[in-house]
A and B are shown apart, each in its own frame.
Chain A
Amino acid sequence: MKYLSYLTIGIFFGIIMYKSEAASWFRIYEMFQFGSFHMYGIIGSALAIGVVGVQIIKKNNIKSIDGTEMNLHPKNKSVARYLIGGIIFGLGWALAGACPGPMYVLAGAGYFSILIVIASAILGTFVYGIIKDKLPH
Chain B
Amino acid sequence: MNLLYDPWPWYIAGPLIALTMFILLYVGKQFGMSSNLRTMCSIGGAAKYSDFFRFDWRAQRWNLVVVLGAIIGGFIASNFMSDNTVNINPEVAQQLATDYGINSAGEAYLPPELFASENLTDPSVLAVLILGGFMVGFGARYAGGCTSGHAISGLSNLQLPSLIAVVGFFIGGLVMIHLLFPLIFS
Contacts and interface: CB of A to CB of B under 8 A. Distances in A.
Interface residue range, chain A: 35 or more
Contact of B136 (A21, A65, A83, A93): A93
A93 to B, nearest CB: 6
Contact of B74 (A64, A76, A106): A106
A130 to B, nearest CB: 5
Contacts of B167: 83, 86
Interface of B: 7-18, 20-30, 33-34, 36-38, 40-41, 44, 46, 49-50, 52-53, 62-63, 65-79, 81-82, 84, 86, 88-89, 91-93, 95-96, 105, 109-111, 114-117, 119-120, 126, 128-148, 150-162, 164-178, 180, 184
Nearest to B164: A82
Top 9 A-B pairs ranked by shortest CB distance? A10-B69, A14-B73, A86-B168, A90-B172, A96-B132, A92-B135, A124-B137, A89-B139, A50-B156
Nearest to B119: A113
Interface in A99-116: 99-101, 103-114, 116
Contacts of B141: 85, 124-125, 128-129, 132
Contact of A41 (B10, B75, B135): B10
Contacts of A105: 70-71, 73-74, 77
A26 B168 contact: no
Interface of A: 2-3, 5-33, 35-51, 53-54, 57, 64-66, 68, 70-72, 74-79, 81-101, 103-114, 116-130, 132, 135
Contact of A5 (B27, B117, B153, B178): B27
Contacts of A108: 70-76, 78
A10 B13 contact: no
A88 B13 contact: no
A82 B165 contact: yes
Contacts of B140: 85, 89, 99-100, 121, 125
Contact of A88 (B7, B73, B139): B139
